[in-house]
A and B are shown apart, each in its own frame.
Chain A
Amino acid sequence: EVRLVESGGGLVQPGGSLRLSCAASGFGFSHYSMNWVRQAPGKGLEWLSYFVNSGTTIYYADSVKGRFTISRDNAKNSLYLQMNNLRAEDTAVYYCARDGGRAWESDYWGQGTLVTVSS
């Protein structure tokens, strides 16, 4: 069974940093590209970043470029999102999602971890 479990969310002050983790199991993690997607309270989905399985390509949304860094450790079957210089508008549930490898679809999602940026 494919399983994605996010962790690392919590309350952080504006300007602070947080590192999210996503533990993957039930599939060959190193063979799949991965995404981070977030959802602000009561709002829609926002794609944030993509890390190709081969490790050669990374994409970011403009809203987080230069502040967030995606990384992965295939030996630990884990995906990460380092978030710096956090703003109130970064408050959201953050999901990691597996790229299905066919047409930029996310075929499996974690349950999400809540990040709250507030003083």
Chain B
Amino acid sequence: QSALTQPASVSGSPGQSIAISCTGTSSDVGGYNYVSWYQQHPGKAPKLMIYEVTNRPSGVSNRFSGSKSGNTASLTISGLQAEDEADYYCSSYRSTSTFAGVVFGGGTELTVL
């Protein structure tokens, strides 16, 4: 299955806001509100940051927010902090005539300048 499309890298200065896009199709991102976002620091397991497009799990900072328009979902991080530097992955449920399951984006490396 083809992956969702994310930019390879984004950067921002402390205190700034950045957005990471995640583009799919009507069979995944555009067809369901089942988009999630994960943060992964080097050598660590992924951590769920956003689920169901806009929802934050308990304990995740409200500096992290999610949205979706058509086939593209976005993760916005406001008030950038040094500890936000990590890889970020989107995922979505996908359903086609030949596949049902989860697909991930290729990942975006966030650098805090």
The chain A residues found within 8 Å of chain B, CB to CB, are: 35, 37, 44-47, 50, 59-62, 95, 97, 100, 102-112
Contact size range, B: 20 to 34
**Interface residue ranges of B93-113 to A (CB < 8 Å):** 93, 99-107
Q: Knowing A35-B102, A59-B100, say if A44 contacts B48 (CB, 8 Å).
A: no
Cα of A45 to Cα of B40 in the assembled complex, Å = 10
Say yes or no: B89 contacts A44, CB within 8 Å: yes
Say yes or no: B48 contacts A100, CB within 8 Å: yes
Which among B36, B45, B104 is the interface contact of A103 at CB below 8 angstroms?
Answer: B36
18 interchain pairs (CB within 8 A)?
A37-B104, A44-B107, A45-B46, A45-B91, A46-B104, A50-B102, A103-B33, A103-B52, A103-B55, A104-B91, A105-B51, A105-B52, A106-B38, A107-B48, A107-B57, A108-B48, A109-B46, A111-B45
| A interface: dominant SS | strand
Query: At the interface, yes or no: B19 with Cβ under 8 Å from chain A?
Result: no
Say yes or no: B93 contacts A103, CB within 8 Å: yes
CB distance from A26 to the nearest CB of B (A): 15
Q: Knowing A62-B1, A62-B99, say if A104 contacts B45 (CB, 8 Å).
A: no
Residue of B nearest to A110 (CB): B45
Residue of B nearest to A6 (CB): B45
Query: At the interface, yes or no: B86 with Cβ under 8 Å from chain A?
Result: no
Say yes or no: A44 contacts B34, CB within 8 Å: no
Query: At the interface, yes or no: B3 with Cβ under 8 Å from chain A?
Result: yes
